[in-house]
């Protein structure tokens, strides 16, 4: 392609460039989101409390990720506990016991969430700046 563009084709060329730009950024966002969500699931599994005894579906094994299909233009991954979702709030914040006492909170989700939110923001900025420089 030559460096000169006829005025009649300027709009078409600008639109092509912008479409390529958006596609490149979308691909980068999808790649970063997949990579970081896999890492976050692994880390939440490691940080989750483990209970003594035998359970069919232990709490820490239930962590997984899922693409949110409701959003059309956005790429959203949700990390959730598939098997024991009821326990997440109780373990993270503590809860009342039968005899009137309280259990100790075991924060294991929030630290991982904060870490990966910062990391995700940093990686997305890198994807956007890398694309804008080329």
The verdict on pTM exceeding 0.85 is: no
Domain residues for the domain of 57 are 8-133
pLDDT digits (tens, 9 = 90+) for 17-45: 889 888 889 899 999 999 999 999 999 99
Count of structural domains within the chain: 1
Residue 105 falls inside a structural domain: yes
Residue 3 falls inside a structural domain: no
pLDDT digits (tens, 9 = 90+) for 56-69: 888 899 999 998 87
Residue 42 falls inside a structural domain: yes
Residue 1 falls inside a structural domain: no
Q: Which residues contact 76 (CB under 8 A, 6 or more apart)?
A: 67, 68
Residue 108 falls inside a structural domain: yes
């Amino acid at each position: 392609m030559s460096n000169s563009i006829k005025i009649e084709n300027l709009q078409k060329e600008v639109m092509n460039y912008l479409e390529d730009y958006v596609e490149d950024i979308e691909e980068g966002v999808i790649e970063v989101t997949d990579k970081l969500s896999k890492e976050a699931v692994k880390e939440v599994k490691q940080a989750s409390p483990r209970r003594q005894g035998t359970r069919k579906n232990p709490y820490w094994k239930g962590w997984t990720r899922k693409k949110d299909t409701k959003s059309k233009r956005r790429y959203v991954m949700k990390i959730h506990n598939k098997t024991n979702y009821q326990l997440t709030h109780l373990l993270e914040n503590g809860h009342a016991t039968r005899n009137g006492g309280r259990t100790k909170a075991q924060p294991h989700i929030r630290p991982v969430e904060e870490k990966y939110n910062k990391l995700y923001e940093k990686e997305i900025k890198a994807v956007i700046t890398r694309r804008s420089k080329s």
